Structure 1
């Protein structure tokens, strides 16, 4: 049965450095789920392809440049989010240009996938940790 909840399409990336660590950012005060740690990304705008949305969002949020060819589709999560339903598409990227900076987040951390288990994360992000441990 289809849900009457509007679908919220979101893309995120697990940036993976040369040491096998993943970048996460902390949601700022004043935003839903403030203080939680998440994979950087954002909403897909109407008519926008997921990869284009991710490249745009990461440029805005972290100030780094991703190439479409550097994005590997990895995992997705499906989670109820109040009156909406979230579909989160997670990509992996090991190459980018620039140094990530917290433009729209409170803080950034580079952590090994297993270390993510100790963080408070949004419900849609938590199930992705076990799969990241196997992929990274």
Structure 2
């Protein structure tokens, strides 16, 4: 059995809103929306990978919160795991630096206004439940 490679996704939350990132590449994913993140490098913790990926992709400084329960298969051997994250005080606003051409902060009412990548849908559903909590 091949070893699974973890891809971390960030449920980047700010003031009750979730950040969605529109893919610009590869062509088969372009135009669909996802939770930003990326692959965990060898020797790296998922939390450290998330902070690094958000810095590289969005130019932001963040801290990870709690893990969103569950994991979702991507194309083999990748598996998606999601953590909540928050911008650190003084962090610049997110910008689409790499692999994305648009970012949107979505309120609970707007969460399904974008076409999420299939593998991100179950994670977004779990996050939706959290956003509904008082």
TM category, shorter: 0.7 to 0.9
Kindly provide the CA deviation profile for residues 24-59 of structure 1, in whole angstroms up to 9, marking residues without a partner as x: 101114455121100010001112110110111000
Q: Which moved more, 1:118-127 or 1:46-55?
A: 118-127
Match in the other structure for 2:95 = 101
Structure 2 unaligned residues grouped into runs of 5+: none
Q: Is 1:11 aligned to 2:8, yes or no?
A: yes
The structure that is strand-richer by fraction is: 2
The alpha carbon displacement at 1:112 in A equals: 2.1
Aligned length: 128
Question: Contact 1:41 / 1:58 at 8 angstroms: preserved in 2?
Answer: yes
TM-score (norm 2): 0.83
Match in the other structure for 1:35 = 31
Match in the other structure for 1:133 = 128
Secondary structure of the equivalent of 2:62? coil
Q: Is 1:90 aligned to 2:82, yes or no?
A: yes
Two-structure CA RMSD over aligned residues (Å) = 2.0
The alpha carbon displacement at 1:114 in A equals: 4.8
Q: How does 1:71-90 map to 2 (within 5 A)?
A: 71-81=65-75, 84-90=76-82
Secondary structure of the equivalent of 1:126? helix
Structure 1 unaligned residues grouped into runs of 5+: none
The alpha carbon displacement at 1:11 in A equals: 0.5
Question: Contact 2:8 / 2:39 at 8 angstroms: preserved in 1?
Answer: yes
Match in the other structure for 2:17 = 21
The alpha carbon displacement at 1:6 in A equals: 5.3
